Amino acid sequence: MKQELSSISSSQKSQSKVDKDQCPRDPETAKPASGSHQKVQSLDIPQFELTVGQMGENLTVELAKLIANDAFDGKISIPGLGEIDWAKLTKEVEPPTDPKDREQTEVQYASGSTKGVTRLTLSGNNVFKFPDFSVKPELPPVDPRSFLSQMINTPPNGAIPYYVGPPLCGVTAAFDSLLHPGSHLSEVYPSAKGISSPYHHAGEMLSGTAFHREDGNMRSCNLTLYGRKLFMLIWKDHSAKFEAFIRTHFGQKECDQAIRHHSVLISPERLQEEGIGFSIHIAGPGEMIVTAPGQYHAVVNLTRCFAISINFLLPGEELRYEGLDLCGFQGAADQGADAQVAAESRGADAQVAAESQRGKRHLEVESESESESDLPTAKKPKVELTQLLADNVTGKQAIFRFFDLVLASRSCDAPSKSELKKSQTDIQGTDELKKARALHELNRFFGGKSNITMFYHLLSQIAFAETVDDMTKRSDRLLAGGDQLAQLLLHMGQKVTVESRKRLQNELSSPRKWIQIIGPYDGIQCFLPFGGQKREVTVRQCLGLNQGDIATFHDFLRMKPFLKELCEIGREFQASIWSCKEFPTHQWESQAIDRETVSIEELVKLLKPLL
């Protein structure tokens, strides 16, 4: 179905304004398309078509012909596609049973500190809400570009349903068969979801996917069947400039999917300001968008939307495995390479020879690679470490951990309480040297005996580092060689030597990192995981975060709906510890709670003191 919505191409030439009449570019080469003397067409009507008969197993051959055309801009119309029985689809869809297929069921936005940039991430809730496609979609915005910019500058609140995963019923089978990955990917990854078999994209208005590119040298095609989707495609010859912009504002990540990990949407105006060339396409029912290898792109659903997608390679292209191991996907690279060897081997003897050459390590990798977790990142959404940490400290399990921590503090052993009581006078006093010494002694007393003593150890570590840093800020010398540090060492009964200074600096290293991680969200440390459960960030991983990671973590935290309430009760709990006063009884302690069925909203209500 063709539509009358604007296509926008944008670039900014160095030391000049954007040429509004800049012609579309071939996404393969980023060179101006043929007829470049003409102005951009005002209607986003595809210049290229495929028939239904040219799809399926013929798809990649036909796509190769279109892509070879200098005027190809990435958009294709497929007339006569037919209609899905949307009422039947909506009725027959069943929630995915495989936990791996529930990793993307909702997305959420969060405004950041960078102008013209918002974050679009998985919500982490894994709540499955399939849109109702039996009703007509909303009317798309008249001006998609202005709509997109406004949405990025003032992003919506709350989680938005957006299922991305394998088909959930057979109603779409005839349409799924229209997409094909090409012969090479079919051989290398014969059963990889979303790579050699289609993925479904079913979302409500404003759901979408942040900027990313496909793995390796794979291409992608996305066929819309219901509603309207907006695609932003970065021109290939502007990839380096785009990557440099991301590095400057969000830090470097050593990964082939570094841009994907940052989870950003960037407004057209900001891209123009940075001189980054891009195109915008609107795809409606029966229209398909094709991306080139390594081409960065983002998607926003302008209405309730349903689409199918697949990765593909053109005839004669072979999958490159460079970079697939940088996110922990070495197994995928090995599996693909081994499958390629097997596919090229003709005859049993050749196949046996190939097996023997792989050796023990490759055989072990193959046995592990049978799980979906070892497939490339392109169609398996990976929750980044910083997002996982934000989920860890604000989700249901975080609140349960806090409940357990409070209960443990009530029944804490006598020596621990005695040690806290003994240190109280110095800790609450004004003599910073005495306070630092008392906190240092608490550090040495508490260790990893239990979660509560580990927590006390963390609190005393952080308080010790804060006290030392406060002392040295008032000194007119640097900490590395200042008198304050020497006085502290002497006050703790230690000689002032190069080695003792170094030891003290090492002791301060970890708590200083914790101070940075906590940032302005004091109290959230009461909800930190200790890495003992599945999908919990470990202490080592936390301490390995760099400044860019920490900023990203804070961005993820800001979007959490109950962050304020959690930080408040966390600060209250810490205050009770340092004052050696009993923490007030709260409503959750007076009720029986079913930890499986209770909602996080109900848990937050129970954080109030018992009257």
Whether residue 379 is contained in a domain is answered as no
Residue 317 lies in a domain: no
Report residue 186 as tokens. Answer: 């079919």
For residue 380, the model assigns a pLDDT of: 40
Looking at the fold, whether 362 and 250 belong to one and the same domain comes out as: no
- Note the pLDDT of residue 439: 66
* pLDDT at residue 450 in the model: 64
- Cα 104 to Cα 24, 90, 95, 99: the distances in Å are 33, 18, 12, 10
pLDDT for the residue numbered 351: 33
**Mean predicted lDDT score pLDDT of the chain:** 77
Any idea what DSSP says for residue 109?
A: E
Per-residue confidence at 12, pLDDT binned at 50, 70, 90?
very low
In this structure, the answer to whether residues 117 and 85 fall within a common structural domain is yes
Residue by residue, DSSP assigns 513-572 as HHHHHHTT-TTGGGG---S-STT---HHHHHT--HHHHHHHHHHHHT-TTHHHHHHHHHH
| Domain endpoint, select from 312, 338, 361 | 312
The pLDDT assigned to 64 comes to 96
Q: What is the DSSP letter of 143?
A: S
In sequence order, the 6+-apart residues with CB closer than 8 A to the CB of 124 are 383, 387, 388, 390, 391, 395
pLDDT at 223: 98
Question: In this predicted structure, what is the pLDDT of residue 594?
Answer: 86
With cut-offs at 50, 70 and 90, classify the pLDDT of residue 295: very high
- pLDDT given at position 251: 74
Q: Tens digits of per-residue pLDDT, 232-262?
A: 999 999 999 999 999 888 876 556 677 887 8
User: Is the Cα dihedral 137, 142, 148, 153 positive or negative?
Assistant: negative
User: Distance of CA 123 to CAs 63, 75, 105, Å?
Assistant: 35, 30, 8
Q: What share of the chain has pLDDT > 90, as a percent?
A: 39
pTM of the complete model: 0.56
So what's the pLDDT on residue 61? 96
Task: Give the Cα separation of 485 and 468 in Å (integer).
Answer: 8
Give dist(CA 71, CA 41) in Å, integer: 13
Mean per-residue pLDDT, 152-171: 92
Strand pairing report for 75-77 and 48-49: parallel
Please give the residue that has the higher pLDDT: either 565 or 216.
565
The pLDDT value given to residue 308:
96
| Residues of the domain holding 242 | 8-25+35-94+104-312
Three-state helix/strand/coil letters over 391-414: HHHHCHHHHHHHHHHHHHHHCCCH
Q: How far, in Å, are 463, 500, 517 from residue 511 at the CA level?
A: 8, 18, 10
Residue 3 counted as domain residue: no
pLDDT, residue 544, reads 86
- Cβ neighbours, 10 Å, residue 599: 9
User: Which among 463, 476, 475, 551 is positioned nearest to 508, based on CA atoms?
Assistant: 463
Q: Are residues 300 and 344 in the same domain?
A: no
- Please report, to the nearest 10 degrees, the dihedral formed by the alpha carbons of residues 36, 40, 45, 47 taken in order: 0
Question: Is 324 within a domain?
Answer: no
Q: Residue length, the chain? A: 611
What amino acid is encoded at 379 in this protein?
Answer: K
Q: Are residues 399 and 509 in the same domain?
A: yes
Residue 426 sits in the same domain as residue 470: yes
Each residue's pLDDT tens digit, 540-566: 888 888 888 898 899 889 989 899 999
Residue 591: pLDDT over 90: no
What's residue 476's pLDDT?
A: 44
Residue 501 tokens, joined: 């200074």
Between the CA atoms of 321, 322, 328 and 329, what dihedral angle is there, to the nearest 10 degrees?
Answer: 0
pLDDT bracket for residue 580 (50, 70, 90): confident
Check whether residue 273 and residue 358 sit in a common domain: no
Residue 405 within any structural domain of the chain: yes
Statement: residue 43 has pLDDT above 80: no
481 Cβ partners below 8 Å, 6+ apart?
A: 501
Closest CA to 216 of 309, 311, 289: 311
Question: Residues 134, 235: one domain?
Answer: yes
Q: Can you give the pLDDT at residue 412?
A: 64
- Smallest CA-to-CA distance from 222 within 132, 299, 136, 115 is with 299
Q: Does the pLDDT at position 383 exceed 50?
A: no
Q: Look at residue 75 and tell me if it is in a domain.
A: yes
Identify which has the larger pLDDT, 449 or 82.
82
Task: Calculate mean pLDDT across residues 399-422.
Answer: 75
> What pLDDT, on the 0 to 100 scale, is given for residue 444?
63
Does 20 or 75 have the greater pLDDT score? 75
Is there a domain that residue 561 lies in?
yes
CATH for 305: 2.60.120.650
256 and 335 both lie in a single domain: no
Least confident of 72-76, 231-235, 260-264: 260-264
The per-residue pLDDT for range 324-346, each reduced to its tens digit, is: 443 433 333 333 433 333 333 33
Whole-number pLDDT of residue 446: 64
Other CB atoms within a 10 A radius of the CB of residue 1 amount to 13
Q: How confident is the model at residue 453 (pLDDT cuts 50, 70, 90)?
A: confident
Residue 182: C-alpha distances to residues 51, 63, 190, 405 (Å): 18, 10, 11, 55
pLDDT of residue 520: 95
d(CA 341, CA 322): 17
How far apart CA 313 and CA 59 sit, in angstroms, is: 10
For residue 55, the one-letter residue type is M
Same domain, 450 and 477: yes
- Say if residue 265 is in the same domain as residue 366: no
Q: Is the pLDDT of residue 286 over 90?
A: yes
- At 320, is the pLDDT very low, low, confident or very high (cuts 50, 70, 90)? confident
Give backbone dihedrals phi and psi of 366, rounded to 5 degrees, phi first: -65, -40
Domains contained in the chain, number = 3
Residues 6+ apart with CB under 8 A from 558: 110, 111
My answer on whether 486 and 589 are in the same domain is yes
* Residue for token pair 């297929």: 101
> Residues 445, 555: one domain?
yes
State the DSSP H helix or E strand holding residue 225, giving kind and residue range, or none if neither: strand 219-226
Most confident stretch, 177-186, 209-218, 282-291, 570-579: 282-291
pLDDT tens digits for range 79-126: 999 889 999 999 999 888 877 777 789 999 988 778 999 999 887 667
User: Which pLDDT score, from 0 to 100, does residue 369 have?
Assistant: 33
For residue 391, being part of any structural domain is answered with yes
